[in-house]
Each structure stands twice: as C-alpha cells, then as structure tokens.
Amino acid sequence: MDQLNEALVSIRKILRATELHGKALRIATGLKTSQLIVLQALEESPELTVGEITAQVHMAQATVTMIVSRLEAMGFVLRKKGVTDKRKVFVSLTERGLEVLAQAPEALHERFAEEFEPLAAWEKSMMIASLQRVAAMLDASDIDAAPLLQLGEAHAHDAGVK
C-alpha cells in the first residue's frame, strides 16, 4: 500500500502544480493557460489564421476559435481580412497583448521541457512509457489533449464543459 500511496501522491502533486500555476497565471495576467499559449503562438508568428494557430498549439479548431474570440473581446488580439485573399482572416497581437505576454510567468510545460530535454534518450523513453501507462490506468488514453500542462480548459469547449 505504501507504493500505491506514493504513486497517488505523485499524481496529486502533478495535478496540484498545474492548478497552482493556472492560478498564478490568472492573478498575473487574467488569462487561462490555453489563452496564453495562443498569444505566445502569435508572438512567434505575428500574423496567423485560426487554422495555423490550431496546428501550432495542438488544440481543436473550435477551441482556438473560441479562445481567439475571447482574446479579441479582451483587446489582446485583432482579426483582419487578408489583403491579397479576402477569404482569409488573420489574427495578430495588439499592443495590449504584447504587454500581457511580458507580464506572464513561464508556462508550466516550458519549465517541464527545460528539465526534460537534457535527459538521456533512454530516460525520456522510460518517462513517456510510464506516463502513458498512468494515463491508460486512469482510463485517459483516448482523451484528446494538447501538449500543455493545464487543468481542463484547453478542450473544455469540445466536451461541452464550461
């Protein structure tokens, strides 16, 4: 039972870390993690379509569309029709969007990446296998998820959850 408790405590610590980071992000910027990820994608490529953002952030297009709408309402992004192709709508950061990005704490998945990347290939493979096994044990193997560490907000719209 001690090993079971250790495993459950470790899972709880991971969940709690994502929860606390999400709270810190909301306090610092008023944003959810998924909203920050979209803003960061636009920071890297100043003008993207919703489809291009979707591909970059690995979220469902309906989710990205909803996030962009909220970010636009908050004054962080602008949508404008393309000059050469009027059918395309491009999303870009506003000055306010750039300011909020400067205030935002480092995303939790970025911190994980900094620690994960230097690991030896065998260690990465073992960690991935273990995490995939945990996901399967929690009946979560078939859940669509972006490579982001956050609680419930990235795909909540797809599941009909608010």
Instruction: Look at residue 72 and tell me whether its pLDDT is greater than 80.
Output: yes
Span 33-56, pLDDT tens digits? 889 889 999 998 878 999 999 998
Is 112 exposed, middle or buried (CB count within 10 Å of its CB: 0-12, 13-18, 19+)?
middle
Instruction: Look at residue 158 and tell me whether its pLDDT is greater than 50.
Output: no
Upper half-sphere CA count for residue 140 (Cβ side, 13 Å): 9
pLDDT of the residue at 91: 94
Q: How far is CA 63 from CA 66, 124, 135, in A?
A: 5, 30, 23
Instruction: Look at residue 84 and tell me whether its pLDDT is greater than 70.
Output: yes
Instruction: Look at residue 152 and tell me whether its pLDDT is greater than 70.
Output: no
The domain 2-137 is placed in CATH, from the list 3.40.50.720, 3.30.2320.50, 1.10.260.40, 1.10.10.10, at: 1.10.10.10
Span 87-115, pLDDT tens digits? 889 999 999 999 998 888 877 878 888 99
Q: Which contacts qualify for 58-66: CB closer than 8 Å, 24 or more apart?
A: 58/146, 58/147, 58/148, 59/34, 59/146, 59/154, 59/155, 60/144, 60/155, 60/157, 60/158, 62/157, 62/158, 63/34, 63/154, 63/155, 63/157, 63/158, 64/38, 66/157
Average pLDDT score over residue span 131-137 = 91
Instruction: Look at residue 162 and tell me whether its pLDDT is greater than 70.
Output: no
Tell me which residue has tokens 């994980």: 112
Domain boundaries, the chain: 2-137
Average pLDDT score over residue span 113-118 = 93
